[in-house]
Amino acid sequence: MNAQRKEPLDLIEAAVQLLRTSPPLVFALYCAGTVPFLLTFFSFCAEMSYDRRAVNNCAASATVVALTYCWMKGLQAFCCRELVHVYTGNPRRWWKPAAILAIWCRQIAVQPLGFFLIPVAWLLVFPVAYVSAFFQNLTILGGTQRNDLKKSWELARLSPKQSYAVYGLLSLLTLIVFLDLYVVILSIPYLLKLLLGIESVLTSSPTWAFSPLLLIAAAALAHFLIDLLAKAVEVIRCCDGESLATGGDLLRRLADLPPDRMPLRKQSVLALPLENQANRGRFAHSAFCCSLAIAALLGTMSNSAGSDTSSPAENRTLEPRLTPLTLDRQIERVLQNPEYSWREPSAPPPHQKRESILEQWIASVRRSLLSFGGWVDRLFKSLLKRFALSSPLFQPAIGAMPLSSALLNALGYALWVAFGGALVVFLIRILKSKAAKLPPSIASAPSPDLTDERIEANQLADSEWYALAREKMAAGELPQAQRALFLAILSYLASHRFIAIARWKSNIDYEKEIVRQTDRLSQLPALYRQGRLGFERCWYGSQSVSPADLENYSGIYERIKHAAQ
């Protein structure tokens, strides 16, 4: 059947079958071209999103992305040529150096336009089928012929209803695959936490689920999985669309016929001028070629029918023609067989009481329950049969057996016990994670000792450190109040993920982290440096602290909070 007459689901099914029968070279070419581009594009997006030196590296990274895109389009063209060879059996070779160079140059010259036009077409919705099919057809044809651009556009315009339906189904499939991959990636950290107890930053902060890089990674994987199917669909549409003018599908059917049933000689079929470049576009020539092919097929059918009906040795005694009366009797005789009587409703006995609708419903429910009970009984018997341990004393002596039946039964029993134990551990872990937490102790925790050098900023929230600083100011302990304010600054920056608190880090290390996490226009590094120097001069140096200095230091804390928002 011609692809232009197929239903969209049948066309996608034919594309899947084409991929199943394709050699490994098709998938190797596709992966070798697509994977480097997707990895480079993902690295480019990550660098442009989070690297402070992205402005300096933007030109070089964009050049690498462009080169890998050209590399991908060239190998995808070779992949499509192999798919065409699988579908049509066309022995045209593309791996000659001149053909490879010509295909690659044409793809590099035209395909970069699709990187911008296809997303715009998806936004406009209406031209998406034409634009996507045009660039896919150009990939399939290779672009080495003079009229490949025109032919790609003409093939893209064939069967617009089918094209829109196919691309709609492929878009829906891509969306489903994208959501599946997104859910799988999202659930991996939480499964590791639930099953193995592995804590990470991903489980402590769910905001990473809306990260643009995660969405780009899932979209790239979905594109990688569906794009080859879209190319296989377009290979079928492109080849069958060309057959409308060249009769290539009829020639393939002629080639599949056995030699004894060929009405034309092989030389005469090959001599048909279907591949004449001068006459390919003429309607009369195409009609003539198609007429010859159809006549050949009809001649084959007539020859086979004539050979079946005209053999004098087998058909000397022909059966007499059936009359309508004889035919009716034979039909009635056949319909009386038991296999044809199941449709007839069984007549109830004459003195049987007719059941009400409620009684019929109760009987139906009873039969369903009995059927379910029988199924459960058979299930338990099949499960318990595996635990039936036979005593080795009553086993007949069988020489030279590596494992006895009792040992195999014991091994199966041990596997079932291990499975049950793993299931119990899994349920206990789930119940522990959902167990209600005990209320905190009524006795308040003692305030941290600000004179201790082992104190860490993440022991309290920034508001609690600030309240402790106010208490120390009221008590007249000004150096400890200043240290509490500095710890409040560190705690606030850690809660907003500008720094990561660690015992081995110094205050200068925290300053370097803030510089890496902020841009050049931010005032946060300068404010932190001012607060760090003020604290170190008083705490580690000989400079004294006054209440006015603490008020100024409190102002630095408030300005840091405002700059970090």
Q: Which option is the CATH number for 457-564: 1.20.120, 2.20.25, 1.10.3120, 3.30.420?
A: 1.20.120
- Name, of 69-73, 286-290, 515-519, the range with top average pLDDT: 69-73
Least confident span in 53-67, 188-202, 352-366, 475-489: 352-366
CB 457 within 8 A of CB 502: no
Residue % of the chain over a pLDDT of 90: 6
Per-residue pLDDT tens over the stretch 324-379: 777 777 777 777 776 665 555 555 555 656 666 777 777 777 777 777 777 777 77
CB 518 within 8 A of CB 529: no
Report pLDDT for 367. Answer: 78
Q: How far is it, in rounded angstroms, from Cα 140 to Cα 133?
A: 10
Per-residue pLDDT tens over the stretch 403-418: 445 565 666 677 778 8
Report pLDDT for 248. Answer: 63
For the chain, the distance separating the N- and C-terminal CA atoms, rounded to the nearest angstrom, is: 64
Q: How far is it, in rounded angstroms, from Cα 558 to Cα 499?
A: 18
Q: How far is it, in rounded angstroms, from Cα 49 to Cα 381?
A: 60
Q: What's 289-357 look like in SS3?
A: HHHHHHHHHHHHHHHHHHHHHCCCCCCCCCCCCCCHHHHHHHHHHHHCCHHHCCCCCCCCCCCCCCCCH
Report pLDDT for 97. Answer: 77
Residue 385 banded pLDDT, cuts 50, 70, 90? low
Report pLDDT for 219. Answer: 92
- Name, of 22-26, 109-113, 118-122, the range with top average pLDDT: 22-26
Report pLDDT for 257. Answer: 59
Neighbours of 467 (CB within 10 A): 14
Report pLDDT for 423. Answer: 80
Selected residue with higher pLDDT from 389 and 86: 86
Q: What is the DSSP letter of 445?
A: P
Report pLDDT for 536. Answer: 86
Report pLDDT for 289. Answer: 47
To the nearest whole number, what is the mean pLDDT of the chain? 75
Report pLDDT for 270. Answer: 44
pLDDT at 216 over 80: yes
For the entire predicted model, the pTM comes to 0.49
Least confident span in 18-22, 227-231, 440-444: 440-444
Residues 94-111 have a mean pLDDT of 77
Per-residue pLDDT tens over the stretch 508-556: 888 888 888 887 667 888 888 888 888 888 888 878 888 888 888 888 8
CB 85 within 8 A of CB 51: no
- Sorted by sequence, the CB contacts under 8 Å of residue 160 that are 6+ apart come out as 129, 130
Residues 93-98 have a mean pLDDT of 69
Residues 458-479 have a mean pLDDT of 87
Selected residue with higher pLDDT from 123 and 214: 214
Per-residue pLDDT tens over the stretch 217-269: 999 999 999 999 988 888 888 888 777 766 665 666 666 555 555 544 444 44
Least confident span in 28-42, 229-243, 315-329, 461-475: 315-329
pLDDT at 162 over 90: no
Structural tokens at position 296: 């050949």
